[in-house]
A and B are shown apart, each in its own frame.
Chain A
């Protein structure tokens, strides 16, 4: 492919009197407004989004006292959430210690247990609002109101993309999470920083990325067509002397042409071995994790994988059964993803984040369900500059509310940006008379979890 493109370039250059396009790409990528502020620990981020909100007590925050007080509602557990809840409902899942660190993990995470020493468990997360919409917005955009850019857009603004043939910020969801595209929008930041949403419920690369392939003409013919287009464009440009915008569109046209093949290749799981496919298992989320690994290998900056359409983890009833099923589709691919990253030496500079927009109540709703819980929940991170085999912070005796070392979403964002080499207080954008930033006016880096 490289050769053909060079030939074409030569032809274009000869026709356009030497006005080649090679220099343009670097000129475009020189537009980055920011550079890292300090040492970069993570070059890319994979966020595994458990939309709907998993229950912390089922996975990484054991609370033996729940059994003692089962069915009761001690004053400590008498917190108001979205819906009315009754007495305490213990988690039926057994915990044991894993790895050299002896991290306590439940039986729902047999695969992840292999990686106990890589996990940095944040047990004391909390957020501001127990509704899905505002909580998703806070987690993704740093505000409960839908008017500000997403975290990924801030990353792109701060660091740019490292692969000019692929979008730098990709959102994989087999369907749509609540609030949909607002969760990856760029709001007042330039629109090139918005996330590229990809519904991977079908795995054909042409269906994954809009307009990726030309369905009517072959590659050679398209190349000839592009040659004609660029010849006309160069002729047009030549008569107008220098113009950055005209040049930029000519360059973007060439990138798009290459992208057709680069992106097809990146999104094509057919190249993976049967053993790899087996390791990740079946299903949308497994495919999402595998795609995330492929994109990470190609230096896509930020990849979000939503666990499913809508809010799969929203277990208002039949919680135990659903939690077990959901964990069954989650644990294996996530563990396989960590295996792959480790094996490729990429975990060192890839930050993996796991969690929902909030947690769930240790008290019961409808007898067998759990309500949203913004007072306290668990997330974990791995790789990219965080300490493994540790837990940070604590919830109360029942796992309801973050008590020791609470970590707000702003703190989480400050920490993520820190790992990417960005000072969250310095990554600002002037809009409507104010310097905006992802963390609004707060946020503290959680220093104790840095490796």
Chain B
């Protein structure tokens, strides 16, 4: 791992278009300001400047670097040589297809001025803003953005021994507090802590015994022990696996046109198990892109390929022209690159499909180098059996298919002789035998991928076909402006040059999926580690150290605590990419154990709690909220793994992570609560609070049924208020005793309302329990 720390800074490839401003004399710049700039402003800037949307031809004349770099048509101006410059050709109206400005040829005098300006070498003052980003730091040529740099070799900064500090994290947080004149908040109560921990790690409430046990535990390492016990729960993987599935745009239902018989849930269950087993993050990633090429993978790990195998697909109508289909196929590749780039690298690589990335050092060549990997990868059902057994099953399937074909043909024949009858019987017996005697014949396949390159070809005059060449891989040409109909030079499949260097080694093995996954860890480990560390941090605190968790490029936000992020990332690597190590490190910090207080002076200077002067209060997401209601009602079905079940059904009492996620028809309640649409990578859960949700709370059958469950569970006296029952309900739902005021409120309700005939004799209790389930206290965690 020490290698990583000395990992060299690579030259920035985007610097091609970023030559430093040549120094010009004052007179030359004055000539530009007085004679040229007004012309450009008047005739050109509407379409060719920073503020133009769209920026025509991707060509800007408002700063020298962009001017020299050219646009879609290539180099526009050669400084000093007007006759070799496209710009001059355009101004001269010499080319019918390229005449600028479009509204009419400029008068001779103005054209001569521009000619002179080109001859002088395009003098211009240095531009104030070299990129189109708003309010971002100026990027010096050759200087890399923070996230592309190696991890800082930061040992802990010096700190005063301070009672508040518990772990390294607190040293960084506390230093920032001092700088920003913030005060940390008092520690949370033990009840708050145990509740926070359960919801955070498991997405489930603690029992009131869990709370009292921890409250009564006087051992000095009580918290540490509780953290370890909770981390070891198998329900941890269900909670954190779901976060991963957001990134993977997981769906239980794939498009109807896919012939695959694979089972999506095998991927979901693999993710849950991998997290429970604390599979090192590098292996976790490599498995998902290339378990089939990973020498340490077990046959069951093939399910990990679901990350790619469950990618969205778009309908490719064979009756359409191949140009149309190629466009659709190119959209699919873009989607894969987007998901992979943002999930693992926190980079929006897909931006480089049509033009070099405007802000990050990613070129269109990089894009097509990766697109080739996905052009050589096919979505297909894959067996989870060891290869030899899988082969036997595959052969048996083929044989059965053949026999069934014979049966079908025989049945179609109008006149069947006794011989045919006999033949039919024996064929059917053979099929039955194969099915019954081949071990694992019915074992479902996983939604995976294999190596097969895709070509879109004519199929006669009226049709188009998709030609998958199994075992072959292909390099793609750069598609100019993203259009498959205008191919440029061929690019070899390889990793991004900003990490792998200008002479990046082409991928060697098949499609290159395995090489790609390995490159993350050999060539860009610092970025990969920062991205995942930040995601884990985000789910613990509600916000990441970087608040754009899938954009670590120039457009993304800077980390609030860059040194902390690097320190954690480095130690995460040193601890073998162990995610559970990272959880523990965070959970044991004093930062995490702060209470959710309100402090006016802190609030004024840091209203977003960017510097973590307190813990953030969290609204439970739909999964944790629904699971909690089932749990406190005493009927949560904790069976793990297996096929997804429809969520809307009142009978579904399993954890929400096992509820069906349909890409095209997402469950209405999930939608209402801002569950990420599984159509693309989703980095962050949005907290949305709407009246429609509250209609579900007030009137939905799901909550009413939970209230009925509580009546059954708590058995209140008919027709009578009981303090004791209310107290037990508070213990069950909120793990705390009821307060006097609350007794008063609930008693008043009892006294002022009539028993409704509809709900038997438990009407008021039923309504009361529904209110406790609906209350903010159940929906938020301090």
A23 proximal to B (CB < 8 A):
no
Known A145-B331, A227-B749, A245-B619; 18 more pairs at CB < 8 Å: A80-B321, A144-B328, A180-B665, A182-B664, A185-B677, A191-B673, A194-B671, A216-B704, A217-B759, A218-B756, A221-B767, A224-B749, A246-B776, A253-B691, A256-B694, A432-B551, A433-B351, A434-B555
Please state if A235 and B742 are interface contacts (CB–CB under 8 Å): yes
Q: How far is the CB of A283 from chain B (nearest CB, A)?
A: 26
Residues of A within 8 A of B681 (CB): 432
CB-contact partner of A82 in B54, B317, B689, B739, under 8 A: B317
Please state if A245 and B780 are interface contacts (CB–CB under 8 Å): yes
B578 proximal to A (CB < 8 A):
no
With A217-B758, A232-B775, A237-B776 known as contacts, the answer to whether A222 contacts B698 (CB < 8 A) is: yes
A19 proximal to B (CB < 8 A):
no
Which chain B residues in 547-566 approach chain A with CB under 8 Å? 550-551, 553, 555-556
B299 proximal to A (CB < 8 A):
no
CB-contact partner of B551 in A83, A146, A236, A433, under 8 A: A433
Complex Cα spacing A76 to B304, Å: 52
A197's closest neighbor in chain B, by CB? B668
Complex Cα spacing A225 to B769, Å: 10
B690 proximal to A (CB < 8 A):
yes
For B679-693 the 0/1 string (1 means CB < 8 A from A) is: 111000011111111
B40 proximal to A (CB < 8 A):
no
| Complex interface: stretch among A44-52, A128-136, A346-354, A355-363 | A128-136
B695 proximal to A (CB < 8 A):
yes
A259's closest neighbor in chain B, by CB? B691
B696 proximal to A (CB < 8 A):
yes
With A218-B756, A225-B771, A432-B550 known as contacts, the answer to whether A249 contacts B776 (CB < 8 A) is: yes
Please state if A256 and B691 are interface contacts (CB–CB under 8 Å): yes
| Complex interface: stretch among A206-214, A269-277, A300-308 | A206-214
Total A-B pairs, Cβ < 8 A: 213
Q: How far is the CB of A258 from chain B (nearest CB, A)?
A: 8
Complex Cα spacing A213 to B555, Å: 46
A448 proximal to B (CB < 8 A):
no
A391 proximal to B (CB < 8 A):
no
**What residues of chain B have their CB less than 8 Å away from a CB belonging to chain A?**
53-54, 312, 314-315, 317, 319-321, 324, 328, 331, 335, 338, 342, 347-348, 350-351, 357, 359-360, 462, 550-551, 553, 555-556, 596-598, 617, 619, 664-666, 668, 671-674, 677, 679-681, 686-700, 704, 739, 741-742, 745-746, 748-749, 752-754, 756, 758-759, 763, 767-768, 770-772, 774-777, 779-780, 782
A255 proximal to B (CB < 8 A):
yes
Q: How far is the CB of B600 from chain A (nearest CB, A)?
A: 9
Please state if B320 and A131 are interface contacts (CB–CB under 8 Å): yes
List 24 contacting pairs A-B, 8 Å CB cutoff, sorted by A. Answer: A15-B745, A84-B319, A181-B666, A187-B677, A190-B688, A192-B690, A214-B698, A215-B699, A217-B756, A225-B771, A228-B746, A228-B768, A232-B745, A232-B772, A232-B777, A235-B745, A245-B619, A245-B780, A249-B619, A253-B691, A259-B691, A432-B342, A433-B553, A433-B555
Q: How far is the CB of B419 from chain A (nearest CB, A)?
A: 42
Q: Which one of A181, A260, A432, A442 has the highest number of Cβ atoms from chain B below 10 Å of its Cβ?
A: A432
Residues of A within 8 A of B335 (CB): 145, 147
Residues of B within 8 A of A433 (CB): 347-348, 351, 357, 359-360, 551, 553, 555-556
Complex Cα spacing A130 to B319, Å: 10
With A240-B596, A248-B689 known as contacts, the answer to whether A82 contacts B319 (CB < 8 A) is: yes
With A167-B692, A185-B677, A433-B555 known as contacts, the answer to whether A245 contacts B617 (CB < 8 A) is: yes
Q: How far is the CB of B623 from chain A (nearest CB, A)?
A: 15
Complex Cα spacing A133 to B752, Å: 56
A30 proximal to B (CB < 8 A):
no
For A109-145 the 0/1 string (1 means CB < 8 A from B) is: 0000000000000000000011101100000000011
Please state if B782 and A240 are interface contacts (CB–CB under 8 Å): yes
A56 proximal to B (CB < 8 A):
no
A323 proximal to B (CB < 8 A):
no
Residues of A within 8 A of B672 (CB): 191
Q: How far is the CB of B736 from chain A (nearest CB, A)?
A: 11
Residues of A within 8 A of B360 (CB): 433
Please state if A259 and B695 are interface contacts (CB–CB under 8 Å): yes
Please state if A241 and B598 are interface contacts (CB–CB under 8 Å): yes
A257's closest neighbor in chain B, by CB? B698
Please state if B668 and A210 are interface contacts (CB–CB under 8 Å): yes
Complex Cα spacing A277 to B447, Å: 52
Please state if A211 and B756 are interface contacts (CB–CB under 8 Å): no
Complex Cα spacing A209 to B700, Å: 12
Interface residues on A, range: 35 or more
Please state if B689 and A245 are interface contacts (CB–CB under 8 Å): yes
CB-contact partner of A432 in B348, B758, B763, under 8 A: B348
CB-contact partner of A236 in B53, B692, B777, under 8 A: B777
Please state if B696 and A145 are interface contacts (CB–CB under 8 Å): no
Residues of B within 8 A of A256 (CB): 691-695, 697-698
CB-contact partner of A260 in B556, B688, B695, under 8 A: B695
Q: How far is the CB of A445 from chain B (nearest CB, A)?
A: 14
Q: Which one of A224, A226, A257 has the highest number of Cβ atoms from chain B below 10 Å of its Cβ?
A: A224
CB-contact partner of B749 in A213, A228, A246, under 8 A: A228
Residues of B within 8 A of A144 (CB): 314, 328, 331
Complex Cα spacing A217 to B697, Å: 14
Residues of B within 8 A of A224 (CB): 749, 752-753
CB-contact partner of A233 in B54, B617, B674, B775, under 8 A: B775
With A83-B319, A181-B671, A432-B551 known as contacts, the answer to whether A232 contacts B771 (CB < 8 A) is: yes
Residues of B within 8 A of A217 (CB): 756, 758-759, 763, 767
Please state if B596 and A442 are interface contacts (CB–CB under 8 Å): no
Please state if A253 and B768 are interface contacts (CB–CB under 8 Å): no
Q: How far is the CB of A139 from chain B (nearest CB, A)?
A: 16
Q: How far is the CB of A253 from chain B (nearest CB, A)?
A: 5
Please state if B679 and A216 are interface contacts (CB–CB under 8 Å): no
A209's closest neighbor in chain B, by CB? B695
Please state if A211 and B686 are interface contacts (CB–CB under 8 Å): no
Residues of A within 8 A of B351 (CB): 432-434
Complex Cα spacing A179 to B663, Å: 10
Complex Cα spacing A442 to B56, Å: 10
Complex Cα spacing A212 to B691, Å: 11
Q: How far is the CB of A82 from chain B (nearest CB, A)?
A: 5
Please state if A191 and B674 are interface contacts (CB–CB under 8 Å): yes
CB-contact partner of A191 in B665, B671, B698, B704, under 8 A: B671
Q: How far is the CB of B370 from chain A (nearest CB, A)?
A: 16
A258's closest neighbor in chain B, by CB? B691
Complex Cα spacing A156 to B782, Å: 32
A250 proximal to B (CB < 8 A):
yes
A167's closest neighbor in chain B, by CB? B692
Residues of B within 8 A of A216 (CB): 704, 756, 758-759
Complex Cα spacing A140 to B749, Å: 49
Q: How far is the CB of B434 from chain A (nearest CB, A)?
A: 39
Q: How far is the CB of B710 from chain A (nearest CB, A)?
A: 15
Q: How far is the CB of B423 from chain A (nearest CB, A)?
A: 40
Residues of B within 8 A of A7 (CB): none
Q: Which 7 A-B pairs have the closest CB atoms?
A: A433-B348, A256-B694, A241-B598, A255-B691, A211-B695, A191-B674, A256-B691
Complex Cα spacing A224 to B746, Å: 11
Complex Cα spacing A72 to B617, Å: 72
Please state if B693 and A229 are interface contacts (CB–CB under 8 Å): no
Residues of B within 8 A of A209 (CB): 695
A3 proximal to B (CB < 8 A):
no
A424's closest neighbor in chain B, by CB? B53
Residues of B within 8 A of A1 (CB): none
Please state if B664 and A180 are interface contacts (CB–CB under 8 Å): yes
Q: How far is the CB of A356 from chain B (nearest CB, A)?
A: 18
Complex Cα spacing A275 to B777, Å: 52
Which chain A residues in 182-196 approach chain B with CB under 8 Å? 182, 185-188, 190-192, 194, 196
Complex Cα spacing A195 to B780, Å: 27
Complex Cα spacing A164 to B754, Å: 32
Residues of A within 8 A of B342 (CB): 432
